[in-house]
Amino acid sequence: MATVQVKNLIKKFDQNIAINNTSLDIEDGMFMVFLGPSGCGKTTTLRCIAGLELPDSGQILIDGEDVTNLPPSARDIAMVFQQYAIYPHMTVGENLAFPLKAVRTPKEVIVQRVNEAAKKLHIEKLLGRKPGKLSGGEMQRVAIGRAIVRRPKVFLMDEPLSNLDAKLRTEMRAEIKRLQKDLNVTTIYVTHDQLEAMSMADRIAIMYGGSLQQNGTPSDVYDRPANLFVAGFIGSPAMNFIPCRISDDRTTLVFSESSRMTIQPAAKTRFANVPTGRDLILGVRPEDISLRKDHQAEYEESEVYVVEPLGAENIVDLRYVGSALKVRTLPTFSANIGEILYMRIDQSRSHLFDSESTLALTG
């Protein structure tokens, strides 16, 4: 129903820069997730879009209209807060009706819309109750309900699931995603949980230190991380990093004087544009390492540090050329502490980063 554009947004609190020149385009009907650790500026960006903060410079456009200086009430947006912000002195029904009353909606329409929203969220029975008696999940539904009765141009959600327990969170994740697709409302969702981001988003904007790091689809940010931060932030267990260089003849990865690894033929083109003679970091996802008990070509010797059985998979911790490597294996793969295993890094799926600029050098 609406597009949102953020142009060169800058926001300072006293002397601290919360958002440093961020630009973003969010398409109509898109589920956009702002992802990053706490203090990265994601919530501040959201609050600027909401109009709860005035940016120091830059523009915010909703449907092409400049709303940078409009009060929140004039932007036709709805927001779900982390603490839900259900007004404690009103019943659930009154809470749902509150945004409609603000714009003097006729009574019949209010009743109809409230019932509609309540039905959609399965909270019809709660309408007469005060929020104090509700469970976390119910509060969450009411908060979402209050946002959808409005039929706003844009939904904003600020870590709406972080106060729920793990099981409920997984449930609500699916429900919010489905709701968004049904209503087809442009949605901006802030979270620090990469699992939430990956599972719900159409696009993810990863932020760190007030700057946008990468803006892409979930598979983009997973398979083609733009820099070390994104590479390390997305994925669990995190991507393994090994400091290295590329030999001048581009045949080997040099970890140290004594240990090096031949570049696999499949990776030759992938590493072709990487400059030699610079400090690099090799990034490998845990699923891109394969293990064997016996030696074979391209397999390197390494020692098992610890094994973490997780049921659906086992995580094997290795020590290799001074770096710790986590390897995802089948649950049937067993290994013992101190055992020597042979591992092969799939270089065609690996990444090389410039150690200084942290930018990805492989496409």
Partner 1 sequence: MDTPLQTSAVQKNTVRRAFSDRTIANLFLLPTVLLLIAMNVFPLFWSLYLSFCKFTDTSGKPAEWVANANYLRILNDPEIWKTFITTAQFTALSVGAQLFIGFGMAVLLNRTFRAKGIITTLILLPMMLSPVVVGKFWNFLLDSNWGLVNWLLQAVFHVQDPINPVNWLSDPQNAMWSLVIVDTWMWSPFVMLISLAGLNAVPPHLYEAAEVDRASTWFKFRNITLPMVSPLVMIALLFRTMDCFKIFDIVYVLTGGGPGDATKTVSYSLYKEAFDQHNTGFACALAYIILLIIIGLANLYIKYLAKVRGEEIPDATTLLGELADKTQKVPVLGWLLEAPLRLALIPIVILLARSAPSIAGYLAGHIGLAIGLAVAIVFLWLAHKLPQKLRTGMAYIAIAIATVVYLLPIYWILVTSLKPATQIFSYPPKFFPTHMAKPGEEPSKDTTFGLTMQNYDGLIYHRKGNRPTAEIEGYSEFPKQLGNSLFIGGLSTLLAVALGTMAAYAFARFRIKGKGDLLFFILSTRMMPAIVVVVPIYLMYRSLGLLNSQLGLIILYTVVNLSFSTYLLKGFFDDIPHEYDDAALLDGYSRFQAFRKISLPQALTGIAATAVFCFIAAWNEFAFAQILSGVPPLTAPPSIIGHTGAGGTDWGQIAAGAVVFLIPAAVFTFIMRKHLLRGVTFGALKR
Interface size with partner 1, residues (CB under 8 A): 32
Minimum Å distance from CB 174 to partner 1?
Answer: 25
- Choose between 72 and 237: whose C-beta lies nearer to partner 1: 72
Cis peptide before 237 (omega within 30 of 0): yes
Closest Cα partner for 170 from 126, 218, 137, 202? Answer: 137
Minimum Å distance from CB 16 to partner 1?
Answer: 13
Minimum Å distance from CB 75 to partner 1?
Answer: 8
Q: Figure out which of the listed residues 146, 177, 245, 351 binds partner 1, where binding follows CB under 8 A.
A: 146
184 interacts with partner 1 by CB under 8 A: no
CB 149 within 8 A of CB 105: no
Rounded Cα–Cα distance for residues 109 and 115 (Å) = 10
Minimum Å distance from CB 208 to partner 1?
Answer: 25
SS3 content of the chain, % helix, strand, coil (to 5): 30, 35, 40
What the block records as the tokens of 49 is: 């879009």
Half-sphere exposure of 324 (CA within 13 A, CB side): 9
Taking the mean position of all CA atoms in its chain, how far away is CA 249?
A: 39
Beta bridge partners of 116: none
What the block records as the tokens of 241 is: 């990093």
Minimum Å distance from CB 81 to partner 1?
Answer: 4
Give the binding range for partner 1 (CB under 8 A) out of 22-30, 97-105, 124-132, 220-228: 97-105
Q: Figure out which of the listed residues 15, 16, 38, 103 binds partner 1, where binding follows CB under 8 A.
A: 103
Dihedral-angle region of residue 335 (phi above 0 means left; psi in -120 to 50 means alpha; beta otherwise): beta
- Choose between 44 and 215: whose C-beta lies nearer to partner 1: 44
Using CA of residue 64, residue 54, residue 187, residue 225, what is the dihedral sign? Answer: positive
Using CA of residue 274, residue 276, residue 281, residue 282, what is the dihedral sign? Answer: positive
- Choose between 11 and 285: whose C-beta lies nearer to partner 1: 11
Residue 100 DSSP SS3: helix
150 interacts with partner 1 by CB under 8 A: yes
String marking each residue 219-258 x if it binds partner 1 according to CB under 8 A: ----------------------------------------
Minimum Å distance from CB 57 to partner 1?
Answer: 14
Minimum Å distance from CB 66 to partner 1?
Answer: 5
- Choose between 92 and 263: whose C-beta lies nearer to partner 1: 92
The CB density around residue 134, as the number of other CB atoms within 10 Å, is 18
Q: Which of residues 41-80 bind partner 1 (CB under 8 A)?
A: 47, 50-52, 54, 65-66, 69-75, 77-79
Minimum Å distance from CB 114 to partner 1?
Answer: 14
Residue 104 DSSP SS3: coil
Question: How far separated are the first and last CA of the chain, in Å rounded?
Answer: 34
85 interacts with partner 1 by CB under 8 A: yes
Minimum Å distance from CB 55 to partner 1?
Answer: 12
Q: Figure out which of the listed residues 15, 16, 38, 88 binds partner 1, where binding follows CB under 8 A.
A: 88
Residue 337 DSSP SS3: coil
Binding site for partner 1 (CB under 8 A): 47, 50-52, 54, 65-66, 69-75, 77-79, 81-85, 87-89, 98-99, 102-103, 146, 150, 156
